[in-house]
Amino acid sequence: MKILFVSLLLFISVLLMSYPALAELNIGAEVRVRSNNTDSTDYYSLRNGTSPLISSDFYFTQRTRVYLTGDLSKGVSVNTKFQEIGRWNNTSTLFFENAYIKLSKLKPFSNDNMNIDLIIGRQPIEYGNGLVICDADSASGFNAIKAAVTFKKDASLDVFSIFNSTTATVLGGLFSKVWQPDRLKQFIYLIYQSKIFENGFFIGSRVDVTPRKDVRYNVEVAKELSGNGLGIDADIDLKSQGDKYLVSAGLLYGNLNFSLDTSYIKHEEYGEYYITNRLDTPNGNNRLKNLGIIKLGLKYIAVNDLQLGVNMFNYKNDGNNSFFNAMIFNAATFDIGLEYNLFARYKYTANTDIRLVYAIFYPGVNAVFPSTNTIKGDVAHKILLECIAKF
């Protein structure tokens, strides 16, 4: 498959250079610079018997993206995106985030009520809140083939195949339906993974409801059909005083013992300190595996370009426990910790965004210090200052 996608990229490049009159090119770039200041005595996991070895550290990271998009002809477009990400004074990683060809509005069945878009190459795929299919934080994309079918009766169907270099193949489909415009929308997806020692199906559904302009809530459930894997996401947002205040509450839970390689937790939504620094799972960083998160948040929009707020995250269930034990019953027994994030976000210009986060983490009984003389609940701190500039 690597040969296929490298050949695809070379084909795009040669085509653009050979037929410049056919292509309407758009070139852009995005630079993200972060300063990270972490201050923590190493905390310890009683259940895993290991320590993530986090200590006081100050460093800078950067992510640079370069975009190249173009229309080769009517209904044929290309999208190429390079990304370099890494820590300053350390090794950076350069890779293709996207490199695909899109054939738009195909009509193989001569049906005016149906359009088909065919996308071939390295592309982003994310459904719902990323319980099962989601790019990593680096947004590296997937080597995939996807057909997106749109029906005029407010419905669509995506069918895709992801090709993984670790000999895993993921097949899936997503059906979405708008039941009431701007009020009620539903997604249903079915995903199959074929991998060494792990073969099986996931089925999931998400419902987004906006009963009023100032109220929005959604519920998503993903279930492994051939095992105990389960993912739950539920959120509610309430606005008041002319959208000046936004109150949010949410629950995120995953116990994916049968785990897809493509399920991740998003740092910005679920805690800067713990999600970034928690113990690696055997299958990678920041997986939604054996973890429950209760979230409460308040955002205040001081002016149109400045947002201030605080989020609280209560982390549960660092082990193979049931959803009800971890989140409802005996909750203190499965406590990982509590985190507060104070944040400010300022849109300096249309292409410049500045974000400041101060995170405080209080370890719980599943994340305490190894020494019996150390008082449980010692605090870890993190300060993140981020600037994103687009060109």
**Predicted local confidence at residue 124, as pLDDT:** 86
Low pLDDT (below 70) residues in the chain: 1-23, 40-55, 109-111, 135-139, 164-168, 195-198, 256-263, 279-287, 318-321, 325-332, 367-378
Q: Which two tokens stand for residue 241?
A: 């005083």
Measured between alpha carbons, how far is 211 from 200 in angstroms, rounded to an integer? 36
CATH at residue 200: 2.40.160.100
Cα angle for residues 316, 271, 84 (degrees, 5° grid): 130
Q: Specify the pTM.
A: 0.82
Closest listed residue to residue 191, CA positions, set 136, 262, 252, 138 = 262
DSSP code, position 128: T
3-state secondary structure of 10: helix
Nearest to 123 by CA among 152, 150, 96: 96
- Provide the residue range defining the domain that includes 90: 2-390
Give the pLDDT confidence score for residue 40 in this predicted structure.
Answer: 67
Which tokens belong to 315? 């982390």
Q: How far apart are CA 36 and CA 38, in angstroms?
A: 6
Distance CA 213, CA 218 (A): 14
pLDDT value at residue 48: 46
Q: Say which residues have a Cβ less than 8 Å from residue 220's Cβ, sequence separation at least 6.
A: 128, 129, 131, 187, 204, 205, 206, 207, 231, 232, 233, 234
- pLDDT, residue 20, reads 55
How far is Cα 42 from Cα 139, in angstroms, rounded to an integer? Answer: 29
What is the distance, to the nearest Å, from the Cα of residue 217 to the centroid of all Cα atoms in its chain? Answer: 19
* pLDDT at site 370: 43
CA 367 vs CA 128, 231, 342: distances in Å: 30, 23, 22
Of residues 263, 269, 225, 228, the one with CA closest to residue 251: 269
Count of structural domains, the chain: 1
DSSP string, 208-267: EEEEETTEEEEEEEEEETTSS-EEEEEEEEEEETTTTEEEEEEEEEE--SS--TT-B--T
Hey, what are 318's tokens? 């660092």
Q: Output the pLDDT for position 101.
A: 92
pLDDT of residue 356: 96
* Separation CA 129–CA 218 (nearest Å): 10
Query: What single DSSP character describes residue 110?
Result: -
